[in-house]
Amino acid sequence: MNKIASPVFGELPSLLTVKEVAELLRVTEVTVYRQLTAGKLERIKVGGRTLIRAKDLDALVAGEASDGRGHT
């Protein structure tokens, strides 16, 4: 799998599972699914798996996916 250099997390696989994202953010998987449902993260469905692009995770953490008040 391809890797990217994340300015926030270092080197990451280009696609991450919900579990991996939860571990990186130190939140529960439920919280990650809430972010997906709210449209703050974009999901890619492959078979029955939900994957998240590392660049989208970086954007969320950097505040580019904020609600305009600096909250994510």
pLDDT tens per residue, range 30-40: 999 999 999 99
72 pLDDT more than 50: no
pLDDT in tens, 2-30: 898 888 788 999 999 999 999 999 999 99
- The residue that leads in pLDDT, 55 or 1, is 55
What CATH number is given to the structural domain containing 25? Answer: 1.10.1660
Residue 57 lies in a domain: yes
Rounded to an integer, the average pLDDT of 32-60 is 95
In-domain check, residue 23: yes
Q: How many domains does the chain have?
A: 1
Q: What is the domain extent for residue 21?
A: 3-62
Domain assignment present for residue 71? The answer is no
The rounded distance, in Å, linking the Cα atoms of 42 and 47 is 16
Contact 8, 58 (CB under 8 A): yes
